[in-house]
Structure 1
Amino acid sequence: MLGIVLIALAAIIGLGFGVFSIAKGVANSGVTGVQENLDVVNSSAFTDYDQKIVTGTQVVSAIQGFEGKNVSVLIATSAMKNASVENKVSDGAGVGQAYSTKGSKVPGVYALSSKDSTSGYSMSTSGDTDLDGSKNTAFINYNALLMGTVAGGGEGGTGKGDYVENGGSIYFDNNCFRTTKGFETDSGKVLFNNITGNLSKSGMMEYVSTSARFQSFLIKDDSGTIMGVAFEQINSGK
């Protein structure tokens, strides 16, 4: 009788382990499936801004959608083009003032025409030429900051002015912008710029009209990893 009980008990225990193993396998499969779905969503979000013309509404949505994530969002409105960031933010347009009240400075990023070039990049649709005949596009860096956009950051910047932090730079290559420096960090944590109030204030240099059109490009590092999105406003009539 005791032998029968022991055999039955062993069978029950074996069945229990079998059910547990099956459940664990299903759970792991579910986690993998969820992760794959998340990867697809992330890929789709970036695809929406890969060499696309978007509206101002979509630009603002990008900032909101990527908020808190390790994704840089660079914006150059028409008012920002054709001059240095330092000149633009210190001319009373309200940009430097908005940051100074927060105890910060404007994180500016310059776009170059190629990796080893010192010439500024500008889309053929921008039509802006500065005094020395070269093209120039300057962005403000929102959300995750690229290295070189805060004081003490990476090399290759434009220097620290009254309003602008050490300027970072990106360059245009193979239908996207690239950065060689990665994100700006402090004690291992990525730094962020969440000062976005002027984006919705008409008359401000940072103002993004809902009906404005922007050319968007992905920002990648040299390995092809997506670091963010850059938006440059397209002049009306272009």
Structure 2
Amino acid sequence: MEGELGSGARIAIALIVIGVIISVIFVILGFTRGTTNQGITTVQNSMDSMSLAQFDDYDQKILSGTQVISAIKLFEGRPVAAIVRTTASMGITTPGTLPTDGMAGYSYGALLENTTSDNGNIRLGGMNREVNSDSFFTHDIETEDNGNMRFNTVYLPLTRSGTPTFVRPTAKFLAQLIKDTTGTIVGVCFTQQP
């Protein structure tokens, strides 16, 4: 009888030990999950900051034509619109005339809404601001019926001398951000300065 009692006690002790081990495992897993979630949140915040930092060089900065072309190629294949408004595309013929928001430009990369084709080039009639005092333009990215973005990756017109799309390497351009109606940065507008 004594052997049976010892065997039962051993089984009970083994079950208690297994229960304690399982409890410890659950506590460790809970702690690990909390730490992992916090780490994921930190990494996501860092990635968001890095994503926004790519636009720092194009927020109210004066760039050369060469830098404009490089920026357009930098954003190639990404959901970023690039609008180039040269003095010729805006119709400025009098030296010293200042550009206005309503003046036209050409679209590269992700296309914005209300673009049209102009001799094979994608043209945008003008830029607009939600509030006149905003330092950025407000425009939405164009999507097809299936939700996919449309792109223009033909950059050759930027280098064709004598055309309204030509970006002279030494010309000066004011870079301004483009945000959609939700406030997300969706592109950059480069406006040639007189």
Tell me the TM-score normalised to structure 2 length.
0.74
1:169 partner SS: coil
Cα RMSD after superposing both structures: 3.0
Question: In the alignment, what sits opposite 2:109?
Answer: 143
Of 37, 57, 64, which aligns to 1:28? 37
Q: Does structure 1 residue 214 correspond to structure 2 residue 158?
A: no
Question: In the alignment, what sits opposite 1:122?
Answer: none
Mapping of residues 62-81 of structure 1, within 5 Å: 62-81=71-90
Q: Does structure 1 residue 169 correspond to structure 2 residue 178?
A: no
Of 200, 209, 228, which aligns to 2:187? 228
- Using a 3 Å threshold, how does the CA distance of structure 1 residues 219 and 35 change in structure 2: closer, same or farther? same
Q: Map Cα deviations across residues 62-121 of structure 1 (whole Å, 9 max, x no partner).
A: 3233333322110123443316xxxxxxxxxxxxxxxxxxxxxxxxxxxxxxxxxxxxxx
- Identity percentage over the alignment? 35
- Using a 3 Å threshold, how does the CA distance of structure 1 residues 22 and 77 change in structure 2: closer, same or farther? same
Q: 1:164: how far off?
A: 5.8
1:30 partner SS: helix
2:107 partner SS: strand
The answer to whether the 8 Å contact 2:81/2:107 transfers is yes
Aligned partner letter, 1:70: P
- Using a 3 Å threshold, how does the CA distance of structure 1 residues 55 and 140 change in structure 2: closer, same or farther? same
The answer to whether the 8 Å contact 2:104/2:125 transfers is no
Q: Distance in 1 between matches of 2:184 and 2:65?
A: 26
Q: Does structure 1 residue 184 correspond to structure 2 residue 153?
A: no
Q: 1:202: how far off?
A: 5.8
Question: In the alignment, what sits opposite 2:6?
Answer: none
Q: Distance in 1 between matches of 2:88 and 2:107?
A: 15
- Divergent runs of 4+, >6 A: none
Q: Distance in 2 between matches of 1:192 and 1:231?
A: 18
Relative to its length, the structure with more helix (as a share) is 2
- Using a 3 Å threshold, how does the CA distance of structure 1 residues 57 and 7 change in structure 2: closer, same or farther? farther
Question: In the alignment, what sits opposite 1:91?
Answer: none
The answer to whether the 8 Å contact 2:103/2:126 transfers is no
Question: In the alignment, what sits opposite 1:123?
Answer: none
Q: Distance in 2 between matches of 1:177 and 1:194?
A: 22
Aligned partner letter, 2:65: G
- Using a 3 Å threshold, how does the CA distance of structure 1 residues 166 and 139 change in structure 2: closer, same or farther? closer
Question: In the alignment, what sits opposite 2:4?
Answer: none
Q: 1:167: how far off?
A: 4.6
Of 23, 47, 54, which aligns to 2:56? 47
Q: 1:13: how far off?
A: 1.5
- Using a 3 Å threshold, how does the CA distance of structure 1 residues 211 and 49 change in structure 2: closer, same or farther? same
* Equivalent pairs, count: 177
What residue ranges of structure 2 are gaps of 5+ in the alignment? 1-9
Q: Distance in 2 between matches of 1:209 and 1:161?
A: 20
1:190 partner SS: coil
Q: 1:176: how far off?
A: 2.2
Q: Distance in 2 between matches of 1:57 and 1:18?
A: 58
The answer to whether the 8 Å contact 2:65/2:168 transfers is yes
